[in-house]
Amino acid sequence: MTYQELVKKVIEENGTVLNRVDPKAVDTLIDYIVNAKQIQLFSMGRCQLSVRGFAMRLAHMGFPSHVVYDTVTPAIGPGDLLIGHCSANNVELNVIQQAKKAGAKVVLITPCLDTPQAKLADFIVELPGQIFGAANEVPSIQPMASLLEQALLLFTDIVVMMLIERQGVSMKKMQERHTNLEGLPHEFA
């Protein structure tokens, strides 16, 4: 396939995944975020890239957010929220079990609906990108779980935009919360 053909197919696949998400589930996810004392996020592998991006944007909006296992991540407990991306392996199962034991709520964004992880979740947003080839997953020409990984990043960016609107967060406030240690030239700061 040519580059242009691949671009068209990858964008089409992501559109299919994102359009299959239940809008009511997105609203419920936003309610969980808004009502949490603090938010911790977790995933492994390339899915963790979307976790880190989401945690960063939540922090820019003023939500206390942390990535599980980072050295500055505090304890989790009642009133807190763990958001898991994908959540299909035993390490993720352990994290979910520990969060539940500590009294936190757990929300998963995943195509994996019939797993021990899903059974422990308080709420699930089904994001049906290919990971294992299950019947509910959007099939992909891309290798392994690439479609899911991309869709997680796009989905959480869309959730961020919805949170910005719902919470009335200004871009100026978000920029003020962004790191100022990058050394941007004065005209961009």
Sign of the Cα pseudo-torsion (94, 99, 105, 107, in order):
negative
pTM given for the model: 0.94
Largest CA distance in the chain: 52
All structural domains of the chain: 3-177 (3.40.50.10490)
Q: For residue 164, which amino acid is it?
A: I
Residues with catalytic annotation? 149
Burial class of 87 by CB neighbour count within 10 A (0 to 12, 13 to 18, 19+)? buried
The tokens describing 168, both together, are: 């009335």
Angle at which helices 3-19 and 146-167 cross, to 10° = 60
pLDDT tens, the chain, 189 aa long? 999 999 999 999 999 999 999 999 999 999 999 999 999 999 999 999 999 999 999 999 999 999 999 999 999 999 999 999 999 999 999 999 999 999 999 999 999 999 999 999 999 999 999 999 999 999 999 999 999 999 999 999 999 999 999 999 999 999 889 988 888 765 555
